[in-house]
Amino acid sequence: MVPPGTQVILGAIFVSQIIDRRLNGKNKSAVNRQRFIRRFKNKIKRAVSDAIAGRSITDIEKGEHVRIPEKDISEPSFHHGSGGTTENIHPGNKEFTAGDRVRRPKSQSGKGGKKASNSGEGEDEFIFELSRDEFLQFFFEDLALPDLIKTKLAKLETEKTVRAGYATSGIPANINVIRSLKGAMGRRIALQSPYKKKLKKKEKELQAELKRFGEYEPHIIALKNEICVLKKKVHAIPYIDEFDLRYNNRIKQNLPTTQAVMFCLMDVSGSMDQEKKEISKRFFMLLYLFLNRNYEKIELVFIRHHTIAMEVDEENFFYSRETGGTVVSSALELMHDIITERYPENDWNIYAAQASDGDNWNDDSPLCRELLTNTIMPLVQYYAYIEITTDVHQNLWHEYLNIKSKYENFVMQRIEGIADIYPVFRSLFKKKKV
């Protein structure tokens, strides 16, 4: 079967190709780039996953170099083989004679391919660079912001252009034809009215005088000339004047848009070693980056706690050191106070993420469950709890299980090491099947 786009002439098959040799301007090759990304989507996704595992979360917004074997990007083509036995003469050879064995060249380093192997096998590569947006698009491809039911609007600094009446000056593209014609009609009526009244009066006077006198009487000729002047004045008023033109006026107005606040709660007590704190930091950064793709404006609130809770800036949240015991309820109480004072639920989408090793005073864990159940969960869109531990779960985990059974927007997962951050994050925020 002959594929479409080919011609069969005397048993020979000629493949017709259209080659676009136009110079690509800025962003002219965007379509070809998207086609290339779709073609090698699986390889690019594997490269993105490898990059996430090998880089710091703080560098997650950077792009990535994707290596694709050259054999995978080659295009099929038809050509004539040389055929037969041929002999070639290479001038300038002073080292070899017929029958000599030529040593393999030494391996060369560069981006064009891999180093030569001992077995004589190698593979050339093509390096494709993903932009920041393309990298993040692959990273979040299977994720969706959960339960965006209560999306509130608030006035932010984003602006849009809206209609605001008419102006007497502007560009021709903004002329309002109907409003301009209405203005012209009103002007003509106002200016022609006095002349038309005089004209009507003179015409009646002329009809009466013609019945009494001849047509060529001097006063009748003067009356006719006066009527002619009045008619010229009526017709001299222009149909439309520059004064009549009206232009659509547009002004910038604040555009309501979605806004969110993200609460980050982290245990910094003595039981949280540096490795656990590092895992917490990476999870918070990942969550913020995810929310940042769904909201134009996000505010962050950092709450650190051991026996007492404090609201701190990002620098102190991630890098200062604390020791002592753990009272988780202090952080929850502070979070509720901040929501009440600064972030009313009617105007804000509230998200919270809590990181802990699960260690807490036995008497405090039931209080944490009550605070979350009665005061915090009705206010938040989503609450994620991660427990960073390799041991058995402690009392805080079991108390939080009761909350999970009552609220669908409360999720909890266990993380044992840095390698578990990405899988746990995907499981917490995976798309829900319809």
DSSP, residue by residue, 333-395: HHHHHHHHHH--TTT-EEEEEEEE-S---TTTHHHHHHHIIIIITTT-SEEEEEEE-SS---H
From first to last of its 434 residues, what are the pLDDT tens digits of the chain?
445 554 444 444 444 555 555 554 444 555 677 777 888 888 787 777 777 656 554 466 666 777 776 655 566 677 776 677 777 766 666 777 777 787 776 765 544 444 444 544 445 566 778 777 777 777 666 555 544 433 433 334 556 677 888 888 888 888 888 888 888 888 888 888 888 888 888 888 888 878 777 777 777 788 888 888 888 888 888 888 887 888 988 888 665 556 788 899 988 877 777 777 778 877 887 777 777 777 777 888 999 888 888 998 877 776 666 666 788 899 999 999 999 999 988 878 898 989 888 888 888 899 999 999 999 999 998 898 989 888 888 888 989 999 988 998 898 888 888 777 777 777 776 665 54
Q: How high is the pLDDT of residue 345?
A: 82
Q: How high is the pLDDT of residue 152?
A: 38
The answer to whether the CB of 138 falls within 8 A of the CB of 51 is no
- Cβ count within 10 A of residue 48: 20
How far is the C-alpha of 132 from the C-alpha of 127, rounded, in Å? 16
Q: How high is the pLDDT of residue 256?
A: 53
Structure tokens given for 136: 């993040």
Quickly list H helices, 237-273: none
Burial 135-173 (b: 16+ CB within 10 A, else e): bbebbbeebebbeeeeeeeeeeeeeeeeeeebeeebeee
Q: How high is the pLDDT of residue 195?
A: 85
How far is the C-alpha of 115 from the C-alpha of 124, rounded, in Å? 9
For residue 197, the surrounding DSSP H or E stretch is helix 177-212
Q: How high is the pLDDT of residue 73?
A: 59
Going by the DSSP 8-state scheme, the letter that residue 143 receives in this structure is: B
Q: How high is the pLDDT of residue 150?
A: 36
How far is the C-alpha of 391 from the C-alpha of 412, rounded, in Å? 16
For residue 267, the surrounding DSSP H or E stretch is strand 247-267
Q: Say which residues have a Cβ less than 8 Å from residue 267's Cβ, sequence separation at least 6.
A: 305, 306, 326, 328, 355, 356, 357, 359
Q: How high is the pLDDT of residue 30?
A: 57
Q: Across the strands, what pairs with 43?
A: none
| Longest CA–CA separation in the chain, Å | 137
Distances in Å between the Cα of 44 and the Cα atoms of 40, 57, 114, 126 are 6, 19, 19, 12
Q: Across the strands, what pairs with 15?
A: 6
Q: How high is the pLDDT of residue 66?
A: 73
Q: How high is the pLDDT of residue 61?
A: 61
Distances in Å between the Cα of 180 and the Cα atoms of 183, 240, 332, 415 are 5, 8, 63, 70
